[in-house]
Structure 1
Amino acid sequence: MLQVNYIRENREKVLERLSIRNFKQPELVDEVIKFDEERRQTQTSLDNLSAIANASAKQVGELMRNGKKEEAEVIKAQTTSNKEQMKQLADQLAVAELHLYNALVQLPNLPGELVPVGATPEENEVTYLYGEPVQLHAKALPHWELTAKYDIIDFELGTKITGAGFPVYKGKGARLQRALINFFLDRATAAGYREMQVPLMVNEASGFGTGQLPDKEGQMYHSTVDNLYLIPTAEVPVTNLYRDVILKEEELPIKNTAYTPCFRREAGSYGAHVRGLNRLHQFDKVELVQVVHPDTSYAVLEEMSTYVQSLLQDLGLHYRVLRLCGGDMGFVSAMTYDMEVWSAAQQRWLEVSSVSNFEAYQTNRLKLRYKGATGKTQLAHTLNGSALALPRIVAAILENYQTEDGVMIPEVLIPYTGFDRID
């Protein structure tokens, strides 16, 4: 959530940055400023009446002690009138705060200075390209046919048990999944991230803190009886570990990693581009989350991007890095890098990771602050990245490493799988 003071003091800059996003409701900026002014004026009036009421109460006490009951009764009557006005002002304040909140939560984060202008994914900026496309044999298959051929992932069985988008991993398919999870976790902990195990369901406050609510409730599975949400990513519970926390500056940066299943409704997702493992309702992911000093967050973003790329390089996958344009960024992000691997069999790019800097947008919602050497508290910055999401990594490995005699396993994974090929 954007900070009200910043909006009030930098109206033109806020509007200019929101235009980079092609934001369709710029009038909300002026609504925030208007409701904030109403809130502040009402609060001032309420504070003034409260001060008068406190002074009157003391005066009544003194008069009563001095036997001046009649004078005390006159002031009591005035105090009663003040209390009625205070109640009216308190009601007005609550309305102004609600209007302010409703306008604020509709404003996305402001894009960073390096975010390119653009409205569609086609306008994202390619910042890096690694490797060359694999040249497959003439009878190469897409991954959904390979999984059936080698009986390692069963999409129909998952549909029978639950529904579309919930595959069943079998035999070497399940072991490949587990191998990737362990490989990613081992690499993360070796890079200084602390491994965490977190709940797979969160409450509304957690969903609000990281920006999934009220923006993405339609994409989340909701247990209405208990009012809990299945997590769309480990980012939500891991970041919320620090909700309402004041850290010491020397504790920064905080680096955590977690493996979790992730659950996304993906409403309205249809077509060939979501076939097989390309888009699922339940999938596995290893996530990275950092809480950092504001001065370092963009350097950390580059560091996290480089780290994720090292995983793709170790897996021997041809990939590219995109800096997302304003119109393609997530609601909460200030800047995002997407990593996409090349699917040789499908002849298209598959997104396997997003690494984002949220600046203070999440921490303002979370009330996540740190105290500096001067004793002043201020908002920290948060970042997160997929390292990595498994379905499309599995798809890329199956497709790019296929031969006429089976699917080879990337060398770095063999100690984790215990086998070097799927046949």
Structure 2
Amino acid sequence: MADRPPPRPEPPGVPARRAALRLLDAVLRRGDPLEGALGGAARGLEERDRGLAHALAAEALRRLPDLDALIDGATRQRLPDDAKARSVLRLALVQALALGTPPHAAIATVLPLVDGGPRKLVHGVFGAVMRAGARLPDLPTLPGDTAARWAAAWGEEAVAAARHAFAAPPPLDLSLRDDDALAWAERLGGRSLAPGHVRLDAAAAVPSLPGYAEGAWWVQDLAASLPARLVGRGVGSVLDLCAAPGGKTLQLAAAGWRVTAVDASESRLARLSDNLARTTLVAELVRADLRVWSPSAPAEAVLLDAPCSASGIFRRHPDVLHRIRPGAVAELAALQAELLARAADWVAPAGVLVYATCSLEPAEGEEQLRRFLAARPDYVIEPPRPGELPVAAAPEGWVRTVPGTLAADGGCDGFFVARLRRR
């Protein structure tokens, strides 16, 4: 049998688009996180092409409802949601209409991803959309189910604010190892919205910024810093549960606590270990499933940043809005309730339990806490003290950030946070 000739190399630009197509499939069909799928989808690509594949997929996900509306308006029969031709068209159109790629290059680099009839279909639909002078709206349209849920929970103003937040690159927030925020803000060319915090409005290559190499700070959205701020400073023991990638662990260690950080992910704990080494902060790392693990003794404070839908971090991770399957929020809420009940038993008398989720779903925040308090009369909400946080608390005493919170200062992620005191 004669040896087969080696396959011809793909034209320049095509491998990155093929990886982007794999990423869309991983997110939309399998429900995988975009970041987690990147390694497999872009295997063998150079760093530049990996970054391009990620950028293409992320922007297509950010603009998905608007891209699909253009595609559906140019086809006689609606393409199935999971049709390869639809995803290839999404990539072609997002390049031409959102990323500034010349139309001829946008279509030429995706046509090799399809063959036969679908290839002709993609070429024809793309040409029809471009000849019609189509444009994407200035503000991305949220997925319909997401917009409906958030409008019901937070009002139409929050949905409008979410669209504004989706349209602009979010600021870069840094949490400081020490509290000299004004000095670091001046050095980094940013501003401070809270003690131990610096915000940079422009995108930056993080490792090249002053202070990175010496571990003076770490990247952490301002909203994500709120749970550890409610734990406050201390010298006793604190459990940081579901700790990785570790921003809260670093905050707690910098605040003087003796930290035990627990997470089920080995790779995420490795990242946390690297950040501890860079910042010269100390914490004990434990890889464990919280449903079966227990500490050897109660702690003065426990922080549970529970697994959730992560819908609150949609500005940086547009894939989260397309991975919330029907029933997923209810399943996650059940897990949160289980973990919250276990964590509550690990708090010493008069100690503090902080519960948090990076979610905009009430079932993972307000509703969760109400059920917990009804079942645990030994806990009471302890509201933030005046000036303790850069955002206001709700009348109930918990903290809820939504699209529109701190909008004039660049906004923040969606979070629910509550501090509870054990009687």
Shorter-chain TM range is under 0.3
Which one has the largest radius of gyration?
Answer: 1
Q: Which has the higher contact order (CA 8 A, sep 6+)?
A: 1
TM-score, normalised on structure 2? 0.26
Greater fraction strand: 1
TM-score, normalised on structure 1? 0.26
